[in-house]
Amino acid sequence: MALSYKARKRWALVILLVGMPAYVIACVTVLNLLERPSFLVELLVYVVLGILWAVPFKFVFKGIGQPDPDAKD
Residue 34 pLDDT exceeds 70? yes
The CB density around residue 28, as the number of other CB atoms within 10 Å, is 12
Query: What is the pLDDT at residue 56?
Result: 87
Query: Hey, where are the domains in the chain?
Result: 5-61
Query: What is the pLDDT at residue 54?
Result: 84
Whether 6 contacts 60, CB under 8 Å:
no
Query: What is the pLDDT at residue 65?
Result: 82
pTM of the model: 0.73
Q: What is the mean pLDDT of the chain?
A: 86
